[in-house]
Amino acid sequence: SLHSLQVRIESDTGISLGNQELLLEMGSCLDPRKPASQCVIDGVKGWDSYMVYLFDKSKTTYEGPFASRTLSDSVNYIVKDSKIQLPIFQLRKIWAEAVHYVIGLKDDYSRLFQGQRAAM
């Protein structure tokens, strides 16, 4: 049941049951009296497609920590001096690191946007 999930969240995070607010992506609240299957959205496939957001009602300001992503040393090297000539095998590695960084930023933004949309 959803209540057992909330009890588990309380034991893992220390957020009391009364201060937990669980929201679906579209912003609708979950009913603790109903089964946890209400988290499953019709027509959406894949276990990673179901997002439930946990908000702590007792918090009024964000307390962090927020650690921004950092560029790898090799990508920073290229960013600082873009006219430098490197062998193709090094450029491939740096390109892959840069693409990985950008994909991570996109995923972070997507999660942030979905959380804000749910909170609205």
Confidence of residue 80 (pLDDT cuts 50, 70, 90): confident
Cβ contacts of 8-14, under 8 Å, gap ≥ 24 = 9/54, 13/54
Output 107 or 47, whichever has higher pLDDT.
107
What pLDDT, on a 0 to 100 scale, did the predictor assign at position 47?
Answer: 54
pLDDT tens-place string over residues 45-65: 555 566 778 888 888 777 766
Distance, CA of 105 to CA of 95 (rounded, Å): 15
Distance from the first to the final alpha carbon of the chain: 26
Report the alpha-carbon distance of residue 30 to residue 44 in Å, rounded.
18
Domain locations in the chain? 1-63, 64-119
Output the pLDDT for position 15.
92
pTM: 0.52
User: What CATH topology corresponds to 1-63?
Assistant: Ubiquitin-like (UB roll) (3.10.20)
Give the bridge partners for 23, in sequence order: 29, 53
